[in-house]
A and B are shown apart, each in its own frame.
Chain A
Amino acid sequence: MTVKKKAKKESLFVSGHRACHGCGMALGVRHILEATGNDVIVVSPTGCLETFTSPYGFSPWRVPWIHHVFENAPAIATGVVAALRAQGRDHTRVVAIGGDGGTFDIGFGALSGMLERGDDVLYICVDNGAYMNTGGQRSAATPAWAATTTAPAGRQSMGKAEMKKDLPEIVAAHGIPYVATASIAYLGDLKKKIKKAMTYHGSRYIQIDTPCPSVWSFPSHLTLEIGRLGVNCGLVPLFEKENGEITAIRKIKRKVPVTDYLNKQKRYRHLFDSEQGQLEIEKIQALADSNIEKFGLLSK
């Protein structure tokens, strides 16, 4: 059987991994690979994805996959691309899939280097907004006001004090041809974006909002629902930017207040316990509204 035919028959990310119940990342990765097809090499930094997919002797990966260390997935990907080109195996594409810790924080230097060189890598950040693999510590991707184990809510703290790093804009400023945001709650949209990204060469970046039942603390059957609420309240704007211009926006059909999104997650529970918290919720609503305004999420 040829490699291509075989791909149509079998999923490229199969059962047997050790993700938590309701993990948005495991779902996302399966669909990412459906969109890329099997002529890919996947690179991942250390993180949840690495840990739950690679217990030695077992693997759900049906594509070649490599993990090296935490902060170097972009450079590993560059090395693979260089080798493929040197060997004339350019038909094989390289996809990096990393969490927000490996992307926003510790791997950011290597990512910026890769983007500046324009290496032919599709870099996908499965963003769950904290270091989940180690128990939910704050990252630069953690949204403001969310409580984490290293930026907890307390008598003098309303959770994370700083805004989420605007990585898609920073990435886009490198002048790469394709940047998009997506959500595992909208898999059709997600796959369409992956497929479009695969039509470009050079560095491309897709950031996928990936709810985490374990650390965001919601019942594990609500993963997709939480993802949808994030998008439809305006906190998670979904867009595509091609060659520096926004070319598509996912419109919100029915806007929901941010409280519908926040009150289902224990990481925001402290906001509902105090008067100060209520004021903070108003700020979160203002943030959502400014996203809606900035991207035109409601306009016809």
Chain B
Amino acid sequence: MSDIKVVEGSEAVALAVKACRPHVISAYPISPQTHIVEGLAKMAADGDIDAEYVRVESEFSAASVLAGASAAGSRSYTASSSQGLLLMTEVLYASAGMRLPFVLTGVNRSISAPINIQVDHQDSMSLRDAGLIQFYVESVQEAYDMHLAAFKIAEDPDIMLPVMVCMDGWVLTHSYERVQFVDQKAVDDFLPPFAPEHYLDPATPKTWGSYAESDAMMEFKYAIHKAMSEGKPRIQEILNELSALTGRDNSGLIEAYRVDGAEIILVAIGSVTGTVKDAVDELRDAGKKVGLLKIRCYRPFPHEEIWQAVKNARVIAVMDASFSMGSEGSIGLDLKAKLFGRPQAPMVVDFVAGLR
């Protein structure tokens, strides 16, 4: 374990990415992602990072550069937000389908129209079905930690999917926080170089991105689902290794905070969970039986872990920061679907708490 410094959230992410030694970084600027990619650009300009940095003309191309680099056997990284994530959407679906394990930071920001640059989760939630693994972080420290794990999870031979670490724009990217960094040597031991079984190579020519007829189509899609759903124990293992590496408890797909004996459990993701913990403490001090369920890993959805945490509660109150127009909040929908039919399942109340 090494340095403790007070850094901006974006700098912490850039330093985590640097520690993971990507071969290729490609990005297009969008608020509030900019400080991350500017930080990496400065590292490249100073020779502090040994990566090809490709300055593209759109987020669409940024994600595409990653897909090409990943297929050619290189670890690669980008970050984006909001409209940029939507512009990448087609590329992200295809990259998951082709099992290209790059990492992107989804800096959460609302979606136009009306145009606005404040934080909600509508952008990353619109990608929840793309075949990406998605994490949501609470703090700058957690953002740093989860980026170290993200590459290892993405590149695991049984997973091989893009991983998206979602962090709230401004609240996390532009806040200064005390961060404890991990030694480079320890990161290198934790995360060996990317060595995929298959990559583009003239010595062993392979055809990538085929046209699949209906007889194979569902098999490909099922394979993604299987890698996610059956990959949960492996993700859990890697998060345990991460906890050993960082000396912090990053281990759960969820974090259950003071849920023992709780009648009401609040559910949230992202930076608001820190505030909710304070609220839970105050309510507990006032004798109210309230707890918090923080979902750290949103895809794959850890419904078994969630059930174990909430099964004795009377009410689950979800604080959603995204909304499925014409229906209701995203996490509320997931929880209701996964708790439906369980004996004595708690009531789920969904609040859309902030589309900004």
Contact = CB atoms under 8 A, between A and B. Distances in A.
Contact of B61 (A62, A84, A113): A113
Contacts of A72: 60-61, 64, 67, 91
Given A68-B91, A79-B26, A110 B60 contact: yes
A253 B208 CA distance: 43
Which size class do A's interface residues fall under?
A: 35 or more
B47 interface: no
Which size class do B's interface residues fall under?
A: 35 or more
A15 to B, nearest CB: 15
B202 A80 contact: no
Contacts of A68: 64, 67-68, 91, 94-95, 98, 209
A64 B212 contact: no
Interface stretch (B70-78, B157-165, B303-311): B70-78
B91 A64 contact: no
Contacts of A144: none
A79 B100 CA distance: 12
Given A87-B23, A109-B57, A117-B54, A61 B67 contact: no
A66 B198 CA distance: 13
A63 B57 CA distance: 29
Given A56-B212, A86-B52, A64 B200 contact: yes
B331 interface: no
Nearest to A50: B211
A75 interface: yes
B58 A113 contact: yes
B66 to A, nearest CB: 6
Contacts of B76: 79, 83
Nearest to B66: A79
Interface in A109-150: 109-110, 112-113, 116-117, 119
B57 A116 contact: yes
Contacts of B23: 82-83, 86-87
Interface stretch (A36-44, A165-173, A266-274): A36-44
Interface of A: 3, 38-41, 43, 50-51, 53-57, 59, 61-69, 71-72, 74-87, 92, 109-110, 112-113, 116-117, 119
12 contacts: A3-B202, A41-B200, A56-B211, A63-B202, A64-B200, A66-B71, A72-B60, A72-B64, A75-B61, A75-B62, A78-B65, A92-B201
The 7 closest A-B pairs by CB, nearest first: A79-B68, A113-B57, A75-B64, A83-B72, A83-B74, A67-B209, A86-B23
